[in-house]
């Protein structure tokens, strides 16, 4: 199995709660390498574009308000099974359903403000990485 790339985000609530170091530490301890990362403050329009697969959902307006409410950290993580490994570290979308030891179980306040994002499949990972980064960002950070 070759290494995969996935897009992770530390959402505005994670940055506000000063969990950046804690969360990146969890990725690294699990064997995922940070391939590149950057802080962004998305506009409402950019958040709507990132989450357009959810545009028909009742929570779309609230979610995109939240995601544009403050800076996020976007990271590309690299490693064996990076996509599923990151999803395991995150825990279920609803922190009430997340298993003990996951990031969402430990830190999320509710189903919307759930601290982290992670791509759910190779095709979405590719698209989501492209949303924030170019090949050069990733290559330059890994000489």
Annotated catalytic residue 54: no
Of 76, 66, 79, the closest CA to residue 127 belongs to 76
Tokens of 98: 């997340």
> What is the crossing angle of helices 82-90 and 20-29, to 10°?
130
Residue nearest to Mg ion (CB): 120
How far apart, in whole angstroms, are the C-alpha atoms of residue 19 and residue 54? 26
- Residue 56 or 135: the one with the smaller Cβ distance to Mg ion is 56
- By a kind-dependent CB cut-off of 5 to 8 A, residue 131 interacts, out of ligand IDP, Mg ion, none, with none
Tell me which residues in 15-34 interact with Mg ion (CB under 5 A): none
- Residue 88 or 141: the one with the smaller Cβ distance to ligand IDP is 88
In whole angstroms, the minimum distance from the beta carbon of 92 to Mg ion comes to 11
Indicate which residue of 5, 41, 54, 117 is catalytic. 117
**In Å, how far are 23, 63, 99 from 6, measured between CA atoms?**
15, 21, 21
Of 27, 41, 35, the closest CA to residue 118 belongs to 27
Contacting positions for ligand IDP (CB under 6 A) = 54, 59, 63, 93, 111-112, 114, 117, 120
- By a kind-dependent CB cut-off of 5 to 8 A, residue 111 interacts, out of ligand IDP, Mg ion, none, with ligand IDP
Site stretch for Mg ion (CB under 5 A), options 36-44, 66-74, 106-114, 120-128:
120-128
27 φ/ψ angles, rounded to the nearest 5 degrees: -60, -50
Q: Which positions are catalytic?
A: 117
Where on the chain is the footprint of Mg ion (CB under 5 A)? Answer: 120
């Amino acid at each position: 199995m070759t290494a995969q790339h996935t897009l992770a985000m530390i959402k505005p609530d994670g940055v506000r709660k000063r969990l950046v170091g804690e969360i990146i530490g969890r990725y690294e301890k699990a064997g995922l390498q940070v391939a590149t990362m950057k802080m962004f403050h998305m506009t409402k329009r950019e958040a709507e574009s990132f989450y357009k697969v959810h545009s028909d959902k009742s929570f779309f307006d609230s979610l995109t308000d939240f995601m544009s409410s403050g800076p996020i950290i976007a990271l590309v993580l690299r490693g064996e099974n990076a996509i599923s490994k990151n999803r395991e570290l995150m825990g279920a979308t609803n922190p009430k359903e997340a298993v003990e030891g996951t990031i969402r179980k430990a830190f999320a306040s509710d189903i919307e403000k759930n601290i982290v994002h992670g791509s759910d499949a190779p095709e979405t990972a590719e698209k989501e990485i492209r949303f924030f980064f170019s090949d050069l960002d990733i290559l330059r950070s890994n000489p």
